[in-house]
């Protein structure tokens, strides 16, 4: 699930749990998730230091390591999450990296499908540059949104999901924003006039903010959301029509053909 709203929830979680606590030991249980670094390097960077603050850029969570330790970068793939727990509590089932703190707690980076990544960076800016990420979808204002879309000719859903155009929007929330803006996912960007683009921006921001407020939990999301109805044959929360599923660049795409006809 980890798109921008989910990562925002992970960030709040980390802020509320694991900061300012000395890390005694780092255990890398599967170095497949390490991106361009060894378990040894990660351990050397973290052990004896603490996590001090967090930043988010799109789907990335960046954590500042104290005493000039640089930044820890977390990406959650499709199945990643964080869990802070006491040593005598039940541990999650697919821990890839585990930090042990001096206070007896642990922070697990759990990632069943191993599509997530753990990395180190000099700064959030350096990471964004290295990954060629576009601006964070929520940090952007309407003018910025118009700017990044200017000159684009592809399909609007592909543009929303393209992390180098806009960072943070994935399959689910791209569908959601288009549903709220009543735009067909296969519509091309250049077919949208400025007022439609502004409407899409408003819809996208509303969707992302509402999702964060709902803690990215499909069961807490507003009734108007498509999210809980992402299944073929389910009914549209607005008009009651049948939700349709198509493939768009290999990804399942859900929309209401009655409301998103153009």
Partner DNA sequence: AGTACCACCTGACGGC
Partner DNA sequence: TGCCGTCAGGTGGTAC
Is residue 163 within the footprint of DNA (CB under 7 A)? yes
Q: C-beta of 103: minimal distance to DNA in Å? A: 30
| Nearest residue (CB) to DNA, 14 versus 137 | 137
- In the complex, minimum distance from the CB of residue 158 to DNA, in angstroms, rounded to a whole number: 4
Between 26 and 189, CB nearer to DNA: 189
- Shortest Cβ distance from residue 102 to DNA (Å)? 31
216: left (phi over 0), alpha (psi -120 to 50) or beta: left
Stretch that binds DNA, among 16-24, 137-145, 168-176, 234-242 (CB under 7 A): 168-176
Maximum CA pair distance of the chain?
58
Which residue in 45, 59, 197, 230 is the catalytic one? 59
Candidates 104, 154, 228, 257: give the one binding DNA (CB under 7 A). 154
228 is catalytic: no
Give whole-number Cα distances, 260 to 6, 61, 225, in Å: 26, 33, 14
Nearer to DNA, 167 or 236 (CB): 167
d(CA 207, CA 3): 12
Instruction: Check residue 2 for interaction with DNA (CB under 7 A).
Output: yes
Give 228's contacts (C-beta < 8 A, 6+ positions apart): 218, 219, 221, 237
Q: Which of 3, 64, 135, 157 is catalytic?
A: 3
Q: Cβ closer to DNA: 63 or 172? A: 172
Question: Residue 49 or residue 152: which is nearer to DNA going by CB?
Answer: 152
For residue 96, state whether it binds DNA (rule: CB under 7 A). no
Query: 59 catalytic, yes or no?
Result: yes
How many helices, marked H, and strands, marked E, lie in the chain? 7, 10
Assess 249 for contact with DNA (CB under 7 A): yes
Residue found by looking up tokens 């073929």 in the block: 232
Q: Name which position in 1, 37, 43, 91 contacts DNA (CB under 7 A).
A: 1
171 binds DNA (CB under 7 A): yes
CB of 185 to DNA, least distance (A): 10
Long-range contacts of 249-257 (CB under 8 A, 24+ apart): 249/155, 249/158, 251/161, 251/171, 252/171, 253/157, 253/171, 253/175, 253/185, 254/175, 254/179, 254/226, 254/229, 254/230, 255/175, 255/178, 255/179, 255/184, 255/185, 255/226, 256/179, 256/226
135 has catalytic annotation: no
Helix (H, G, I), strand (E, B) or coil at 17: helix
At residue 52, φ and ψ (nearest 5 deg) are -110, -35
Catalytic member of 49, 152, 251, 258: 251
CA distance 197 to 207: 15
Please list the active-site residues: 2-3, 59, 251
- Interface contacts to DNA, rule CB under 7 A: 1-3, 6, 32, 58-59, 75, 77-78, 94, 112-115, 131, 151-155, 158-159, 161, 163, 170-172, 188-189, 216, 218, 230, 248-252
């Amino acid at each position: 699930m980890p798109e921008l709203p989910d990562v925002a929830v992970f960030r709040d979680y980390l802020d509320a749990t694991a900061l300012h606590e000395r890390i005694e030991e780092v255990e890398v249980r599967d170095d497949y998730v390490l991106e361009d670094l060894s378990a040894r390097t990660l351990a050397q960077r973290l052990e004896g230091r603490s996590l001090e603050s967090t930043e988010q850029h799109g789907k990335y969570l960046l954590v500042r390591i104290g005493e000039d330790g640089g930044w820890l970068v977390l990406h959650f793939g499709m199945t990643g999450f964080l869990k802070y727990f006491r040593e005598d509590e039940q541990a999650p089932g697919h821990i890839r990296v585990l930090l042990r703190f001096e206070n007896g707690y642990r922070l697990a980076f759990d990632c069943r499908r191993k599509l997530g990544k753990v990395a180190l960076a000099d700064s959030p800016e350096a990471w964004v540059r290295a990954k060629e990420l576009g601006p964070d979808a929520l940090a952007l204002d309407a003018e910025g949104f118009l700017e990044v879309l200017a000159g684009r000719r592809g399909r609007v859903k592909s543009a929303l999901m393209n992390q180098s155009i806009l960072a943070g929007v994935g399959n689910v929330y791209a569908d959601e924003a288009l549903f709220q803006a009543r735009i067909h996912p296969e519509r091309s960007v250049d077919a949208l006039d400025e007022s439609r683009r502004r409407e899409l921006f408003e819809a996208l921001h509303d969707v992302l903010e509402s999702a964060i407020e709902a803690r990215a939990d499909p069961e807490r999301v507003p009734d108007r959301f498509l999210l809980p109805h992402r299944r073929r044959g389910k009914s549209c929360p607005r008009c009651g029509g049948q939700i349709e599923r198509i493939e768009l660049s290999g990804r399942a795409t859900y929309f209401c053909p009655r409301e998103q006809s153009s």
